[in-house]
């Protein structure tokens, strides 16, 4: 490998990092990190905006997925509240801002190129458009997608390879599998049999390309998705790559899928966490109906990390950290330090 580029020799280098909760349970959690050279890791997403060193300060950008007291800091789309989301500038900025890991989203172009982008459409945000280009990403040719300017920032949509090239090898990467290029994808639901088989067929080529690219780099990697089929295909591709299921509207269903694939982590919205003032308060859903389940306790008893999305204020970060979660997926850096007059 080239030590200056952060690339590996293409083999999946396997490291097992035990976090506090996982070690107590005798399990590798955020820990078996798929070194983007390909081994194993830990790391999430949502709407508003994580890793730690065992010190009094927020992450120092020196680590990936490690012990979690305080929780790790994961830059949501590269700290989307500060930098143009999912761009090379965001990747570089998140590292400089002290993130322990960066969360990114991946989708394919019409040519099959893996690009780092969150939405299905290139210009779909109510506030005027995420980019200056129209169309579904996976129905648009690669050249057009890569020329699309993100949020009037002069930054354009990068390929996964371009973004990983810009990330220091010591920064963990949470790759969220957003869509394999189909309007038939089912997310946030459980399914079996023929439906599962059909969904896995939709994901398989795309997941293979994503993981092959990630395997060229040395970063610790955690793969996450709202799609059960995407998690299943990742497990089939390489069972040593750590995965996280993204929860949306049901704690019970989320835990069932996490158990089925023995995921190293789960990524719930922050209003799913008992013990915080936000529990079941309708941040994402009008009437969540989560029930009386202590998600953090259950996950930790089963040896799983809990990384919550998406935090945008110091108050959210401090309240969630106090519940014992392992990672905070934030839109802004420095949230855990914001109320400390010494920082």
pLDDT in tens, 54-78: 233 344 444 444 445 789 999 999 9
Question: CB count, 10 Å around CB of 176?
Answer: 25
**75, β-bridge pairs:** 102, 330
pLDDT confidence of residue 23: 30
Closest CA to 244 of 256, 255, 258, 260: 258
Handedness of CA 144, 87, 181, 241 (dihedral sign): positive
pLDDT category of residue 252 using cuts at 50, 70 and 90: very high
Q: Does residue 181 contact residue 108 with C-beta atoms inside 8 Å?
A: yes
pLDDT confidence of residue 127: 60
Predicted confidence (pLDDT) at residue 15 exceeds the cutoff of 90: no
Transcribe 179-199 into DSSP letters: -SS-TT---S----HHHHHHH
Round to whole Å and give the CA distance between 164 and 169.
9
pLDDT category of residue 342 using cuts at 50, 70 and 90: low
Structure tokens at 186: 């089912």
Burial class from Cβ neighbours inside 10 Å (0-12, 13-18, 19+) for residue 168 reads middle
Find which of 53-57, 64-68, 254-258, 288-292 is predicted with most confidence, using mean pLDDT: 254-258
What contacts 154, CB < 8 A, 6 or more positions away?
A: none
pLDDT confidence of residue 150: 96
The predicted model gives 104-110 an average pLDDT of 98
Predicted confidence (pLDDT) at residue 106 exceeds the cutoff of 90: yes
Predicted confidence (pLDDT) at residue 6 exceeds the cutoff of 90: no
Mean pLDDT of the chain: 84
Round to whole Å and give the CA distance between 75 and 72.
10
Round to whole Å and give the CA distance between 129 and 81.
16
Predicted confidence (pLDDT) at residue 95 exceeds the cutoff of 80: yes
Closest CA to 106 of 125, 91, 120: 120
pLDDT confidence of residue 120: 95
The predicted model gives 151-164 an average pLDDT of 97
Closest CA to 175 of 62, 78, 272, 61: 78
Burial class from Cβ neighbours inside 10 Å (0-12, 13-18, 19+) for residue 60 reads middle
pLDDT confidence of residue 341: 56
SS3 133: coil
CA angle 7–169–230, rounded 5-degree value: 80
Q: How far is CA 110 from the centre of its chain?
A: 24
The predicted model gives 266-295 an average pLDDT of 92
Percent above pLDDT 90 for the chain: 72
Round to whole Å and give the CA distance between 133 and 121.
9
Could you give the angle at which helices 193-214 and 228-237 cross, rounded to 10 degrees?
A: 60
Handedness of CA 239, 236, 183, 111 (dihedral sign): positive
pLDDT category of residue 319 using cuts at 50, 70 and 90: very high
Handedness of CA 189, 195, 200, 206 (dihedral sign): negative
Place of tokens 């830059």: 75
Q: Is the peptide bond before 70 cis (omega within 30 degrees of 0)?
A: yes
Round to whole Å and give the CA distance between 70 and 326.
8
| Homologous superfamily, domain 31-334 | Phosphatidylinositol (PI) phosphodiesterase (3.20.20.190)
Place of tokens 């835990």: 255
SS3 298: helix
103 against 169, higher pLDDT = 103
The predicted model gives 71-100 an average pLDDT of 97
Question: pTM score, two decimals?
Answer: 0.83
pLDDT confidence of residue 1: 32
* Terminal CA-CA length for the chain: 38
Q: Where are the domains of the chain?
A: 31-334
pLDDT category of residue 337 using cuts at 50, 70 and 90: confident
SS3 120: coil
Predicted confidence (pLDDT) at residue 145 exceeds the cutoff of 90: yes
pLDDT in tens, 25-48: 322 233 334 443 433 333 334 444
pLDDT category of residue 117 using cuts at 50, 70 and 90: very high
């Amino acid at each position: 490998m080239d030590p200056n580029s952060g690339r590996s020799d293409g083999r999946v280098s396997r490291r097992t990092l035990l976090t506090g909760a996982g070690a107590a349970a005798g399990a590798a959690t955020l820990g078996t990190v798929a070194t983007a050279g390909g081994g194993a890791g830990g790391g999430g997403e949502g709407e508003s905006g994580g890793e730690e060193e065992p010190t009094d300060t927020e992450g120092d950008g020196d680590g990936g997925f490690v012990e979690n007291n305080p929780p790790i800091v994961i830059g949501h789309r590269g700290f989307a509240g500060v930098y143009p989301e999912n761009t090379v500038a965001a990747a570089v900025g998140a590292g400089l801002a002290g993130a322990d890991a960066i969360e990114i989203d991946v989708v394919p172009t019409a040519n099959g190129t893996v690009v780092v982008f969150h939405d299905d459409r290139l210009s779909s945000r109510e506030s005027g458009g995420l980019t200056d280009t129209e169309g579904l990403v996976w129905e648009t040719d690669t050249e057009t997608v890569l020329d699309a300017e993100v949020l009037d920032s002069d930054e354009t949509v990068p390929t996964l390879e371009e973004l990983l090239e810009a990330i220091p090898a010591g920064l963990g990467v949470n790759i969220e599998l957003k869509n394999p290029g189909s309007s038939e994808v089912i997310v946030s639901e459980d399914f079996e049999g023929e439906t599962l088989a059909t969904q896995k067929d939709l994901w398989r080529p795309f997941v293979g390309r994503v993981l092959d690219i990630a395997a060229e780099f040395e970063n610790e990697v955690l793969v996450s998705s709202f799609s059960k089929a995407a998690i299943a295909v990742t497990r089939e591709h390489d069972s040593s790559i750590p995965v996280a299921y993204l929860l949306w509207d049901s704690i019970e269903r989320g835990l069932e899928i996490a158990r089925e694939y023995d995921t190293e982590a789960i990524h719930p919205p922050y209003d799913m966490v008992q013990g915080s003032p936000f529990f079941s308060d309708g941040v994402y859903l009008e009437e969540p109906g989560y029930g009386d389940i202590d998600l953090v306790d259950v996950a930790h008893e089963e040896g799983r990390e809990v990384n919550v999305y998406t935090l945008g204020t110091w108050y959210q970060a401090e309240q969630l950290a106090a519940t014992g979660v392992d990672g905070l997926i934030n839109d802004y850096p420095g949230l855990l330090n914001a109320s400390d007059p010494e920082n």
